[in-house]
Amino acid sequence: MSHIVVIGAGQAGAALVAKLRNIGHSGAVTLIGAEPAPPYQRPPLSKAYLLGEMAVERLYLRPETFYAENGVTLRLGSEVQSVDRAARSVTMDGETLPYDMLALCTGSVPRRLPDGIGGALEGVHVVRTLADVDAMAPEFAPCRRVLIVGGGYIGLEAAAVAAKKGLDVTLVEMADRILQRVAAPQTSDYFRALHAAHGVTILEGTGLETLTGQTRVTGARFSDGTEIPVDFVIVGVGITPDTRLAEAAGLDIENGIRTDAQGRTSDPHIWAAGDCTSFPYRGTRIRLESVPNAIDQAECVAENMLGAGKDYVAKPWFWSDQYDIKLQIAGLNAGYDQVFTRQGNKDGSQSVWYYRGEALLAVDAMNDPRAYMIGKRLIEGGKSPDPAAVTDPATELKALL
């Protein structure tokens, strides 16, 4: 019976081992995680968990007993040092573990500020792991001054939590506008206004020159010369795929661990899934940083490890929670050349529809689940409604299908 080893006990790794058992793999399965906690959800970390609305046990994807009951050996708090492709083994904690097939679900790592501008000072935090959030939680006391660096979804979600907890929040974004890399100006405008209404100061087109302080951060100086005092800093300037093991093992890398359509790497005995993976999509290659992709891709890879021979067809969707607004995104807006806005039928609801030529690419739906669901079905079905119908408030969205 073959031994399958999975490195990375995040959403993808957990989904992959559960699927292996679900579809009848009876050989040995080992799931290796660098963190001491069993596999857990990351999205609530910086929201419900940080707000104290969710106990740590509720973060766990499955009860810890699930793994033993399903014959999965869980190796937590274990860092894999290397992969030996010739010997088909991994080395961790001074021990060598052989595999017949290996899956890399190593996820991603947050970008940090350079030490030269104060990135190593105490009180400078990133948001990725349970330990990261536990370390910053005591900082969230009313009236303290927090600087958020980065105006993407991670930064905006952190700003929303801080504002809800009564902190004095400043967010700085080097690009001309928040969400510039991922959304149209209309979506940026919506969230800028939302945060302003909650007292968040947003500085756009402004670089962080340096953080000041001896051992702990006490202030920040910006590219326009202004300085502000700060009590702590949250860095949300994106993530990079964790390809360190794959690179050291000589696997092909292309904006992540390069796989074929079935999730196989350049080594036929090694597979990959989740944030760390780049894969074929509609004639190009993409890497998706999302929970749905981690689960769906990992489950497809599990089937293919057992011989299914099935191409993974991604159906991209994402979400973000800020204050009482739920943003749901269907599709990928890359390459859009036209944007149309539809007002929702309740206060604060709105949707932004992205087109390239006549083709609908993506929808951002703010507190408008109906627009999201209809948009998602249209995109997955390859249908593109007339923008005039989309923006007409008299159009019943369901009619677009």
Cβ contact 166:192 at 8 Å:
no
The pTM for the full model equals: 0.95
CATH 3.50.50.60 domain residues, the chain: 4-109+240-305, 113-235
Name the region of 115 (left: φ>0; alpha: ψ -120 to 50; beta: rest).
alpha
Q: Tell me if the domain spanning 113-235 has CATH number 3.20.20.70.
A: no
Report CA Rg, the chain.
Answer: 22
For domain 4-109+240-305, the CATH superfamily is FAD/NAD(P)-binding domain (3.50.50.60)
* Superfamily for the 324-400 domain: FAD/NAD-linked reductase, C-terminal dimerisation domain (3.30.390.30)
CA 376 to chain centre: 19
Regarding beta strands 4-7 and 325-331, do their DSSP bridges make them parallel or antiparallel, or are they unpaired?
Answer: unpaired
Report pLDDT for 346: 81
| Residues pairing with 163 in the sheet | none
Mean pLDDT, 10 residues at a time, over the chain (401 residues)? 94 98 97 97 92 94 95 97 98 95 97 98 97 96 97 96 97 98 97 98 98 98 97 97 98 98 98 98 95 98 98 96 96 97 89 98 97 97 96 92 89
Q: What are phi and psi of 366, to 5 degrees?
A: -100, 115
Residue 345: per-residue pLDDT: 81
Tokens 């593109």 correspond to what residue? 384
